């Protein structure tokens, strides 16, 4: 005879089932303690239809009045939407960042297709914080560009389920990721014609160097802020040229 207690332990939760489904391997399992804290769900009830029923489904709770609950397919989508938005917030916690760091170290999000990035691992990101705009994208910390996932199974994953803040916070918490990319950023392909390098100022010249060029000393950026604004020419009542800066004009 089987032990009833062992059968109950083997029951798969909604969260585990969702994260293990096809195309959901970018997700992490959000702790139920995080979901049960109302503060972490602030404002989500206005974005998700059937919010209460969806939350009960995520937490595997029995509805208060089963007779009034609509059919499961009606709010299954709401549960997935709610979990995705909760997931984006969970990733900004220390625990969420650590779990994603492990997946990043294992290259579970793939590697950058750019040759000179030399297999730099990617991070999932979204370009919008509200759902319904765009599917998930992959960010490369080396070339600072975003890519569409190579597999079409991720096209149904909303980018808002990862949000716009996760990557920035991840790189701040793990600065060694960007430090490892510094040597690779210097490698840029140069166009040549009959052995001669094409000038960057020409119409057919390479532009990516300008986009990927970073100063080795961050203080250089501070010096740029000290450059005086351009002066504009104006004539006074006597017809004499009067020079004024943009700051003086705003004053």
CATH code of the domain covering residue 164: 2.20.25.20
Eight-state DSSP code of residue 158: B
- Same-domain status, 127 and 172: yes
Same-domain check for residues 85 and 120: no
Q: Where are the strands (E) in the chain, listed by range? A: 123-125, 137-140, 145-147, 192-193, 196-197, 231-235, 241-245
Q: Give the confidence band of 10 by pLDDT, cuts at 50, 70, 90.
A: low
The pLDDT score that the predictor gives to residue 174 is 95
* CA 86/CA 99 separation, integer angstroms: 15
In a domain, 203, yes or no: no
Q: Which domain holds residue 170?
A: 109-185
Looking at residue 26, what DSSP letter applies?
A: T
pLDDT in tens, 96-141: 999 999 999 999 999 999 999 999 999 999 999 999 999 999 999 9
pLDDT of residue 148: 95
Residue 3, pLDDT above cutoff 70: no
pTM score: 0.74
| Mean pLDDT, the chain, integer | 81
Final residue belonging to a domain, choices 165, 185, 205: 185
Q: Please tell me the least confidently modeled range out of 49-63, 73-87, 205-219.
A: 205-219
% of the chain at pLDDT higher than 70: 71
Judgement on whether residues 56 and 123 belong to the same structural domain of the protein: no
């Amino acid at each position: 005879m089987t032990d009833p207690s062992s059968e109950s332990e083997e029951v798969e939760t909604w969260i585990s089932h969702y994260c293990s489904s096809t195309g959901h391997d970018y997700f992490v399992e959000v702790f139920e303690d995080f979901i049960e804290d109302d503060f972490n769900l602030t404002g989500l009830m206005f974005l998700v239809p059937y919010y209460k029923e969806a939350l009960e489904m995520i937490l595997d709770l029995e509805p208060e009045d089963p007779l009034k609950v609509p059919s499961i397919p009606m709010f299954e989508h709401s549960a997935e939407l709610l979990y995705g938005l909760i997931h984006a917030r969970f990733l900004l916690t220390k625990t969420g960042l650590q779990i994603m760091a492990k997946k990043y170290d294992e290259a579970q999000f793939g590697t950058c297709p750019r040759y000179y990035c030399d297999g730099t691992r990617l991070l999932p990101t979204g370009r919008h914080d509200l759902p319904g705009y765009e599917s998930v994208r992959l960010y490369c910390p080396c070339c600072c560009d975003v890519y569409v996932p190579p597999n079409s199974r991720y096209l149904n994953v909303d980018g808002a389920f990862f949000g716009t803040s996760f990557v920035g916070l991840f790189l701040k918490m793990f600065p060694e990721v960007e430090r490892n990319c510094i040597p690779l950023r210097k490698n840029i392909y140069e166009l040549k014609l009959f052995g001669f390098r094409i000038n960057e100022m020409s119409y057919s010249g390479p532009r990516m160097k300008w986009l990927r060029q970073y100063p080795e000393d961050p203080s250089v950026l501070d010096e740029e802020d000290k450059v005086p604004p351009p002066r504009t020419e104006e004539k006074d009542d006597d017809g004499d040229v009067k020079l004024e800066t943009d700051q003086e004009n705003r004053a």
